[in-house]
Amino acid sequence: MPSSPLDFQLSAPDEPVLASARLSAVARSRYAEDRLRTSGLRQHIVLGAGLDTSAHRAPGGVRTWLVDLPDVCAWRTSLFRRAGVQDAGVPVAVQLGADPLVPALAEAGVELDQPAQVSCLGVVMYLGLEDLAAVLADLRALRAGSSLVTDHVLPPRDRDAAGRSYAAALSGMAGGVGEPWLSTATPEHWAGVLGDAGWDVVESCPEASTLALRSHPLLRPQRLVQLTRAVRREQE
């Protein structure tokens, strides 16, 4: 009986919906890591990190903080311990939307007078609007020039047929990949939300456009998820 989302994935490696979910995780992580690499920023804050391993591939001199729920941080620590691998990031146990984020980051060693990249991947769609607003309000404390990389789900009318059928299949699944999406947004709406919170969108693209997919029976491009990078503007 699978006991975690990881076991669930491992129990059915050829299941097409799970394979697509893994591809999406790889694509968004690659997008964020490429932006971190070219930004020259030396602090990387990963919100809703889960089992994100970007800290292990970060350029030299970059420090990474891994924010997630206390239970998930503990689970991650236990998995690394069991594997005999030293984790490269600093865990920060915070419930986004409920706990103050910035004091916890400062406590964990983030230098707030220096800019940072915040990667918030696979998370926006699971936070309600109130929690999202609270997180964005917290992030106002970050230094101008900081970078915010997000992915979010497009509203049903903006999805293509492949995206609609993937979303329908995903919502029918159990085991940790089928949680309901609480928020969707058009790229324009998302740019407005970020703009109101002090972040100027400098790049927005469909996740599928970042992939060079060769023909594969399990994987196909779909219009469903949008990747965005925004930059913290000078304090108003």
Ligand X SMILES: C[S@@+](CC[C@H](N)C(=O)[O-])C[C@H]1O[C@@H](n2cnc3c(N)ncnc32)[C@H](O)[C@@H]1O
Residues that bind ligand X (CB under 6 A): 25, 28-29, 48-50, 52, 68-69, 72, 94-97, 121-123, 126
Instruction: Name which of 85 and 98 has its Cβ closer to ligand X.
Output: 98
How far apart are CB 176 and ligand X at their closest, in Å?
Answer: 8
Closest contact distance (angstroms) between CB of 93 and ligand X is 9
Specify whether the CB–CB gap between 154 and 163 falls below 8 A.
yes
Report DSSP state, residue 69. -
Q: How far apart are CA 197 and CA 199, in angstroms?
A: 6
Give 49 or 55: the residue with its C-beta nearer to ligand X.
Answer: 49
**Residue partners of 165: CB distance under 8 A and separation at least 6:** none
Q: Name the residue whose CB lies closest to ligand X.
A: 48
**Nearer to ligand X (CB atom), residue 71 or residue 234:** 71
Report the candidate in 104, 116, 119 with the shortest Cα–Cα distance to residue 49: 119
Q: How far is the CB of 126 from ligand X (least distance, A)?
A: 5
The span from the CA of 7 to the CA of 113, in Å, is: 40
Closest CB to ligand X among 51 and 191?
51
Least distance (Å) between residue 101 CB and ligand X: 9
In the complex, minimum distance from the CB of residue 144 to ligand X, in angstroms, rounded to a whole number: 25
CA distances from 222 to 160, 207, 227 (A): 7, 8, 13
Beta carbon nearer to ligand X, 80 or 126? 126
Residue 230: CB atoms within 10 Å: 24
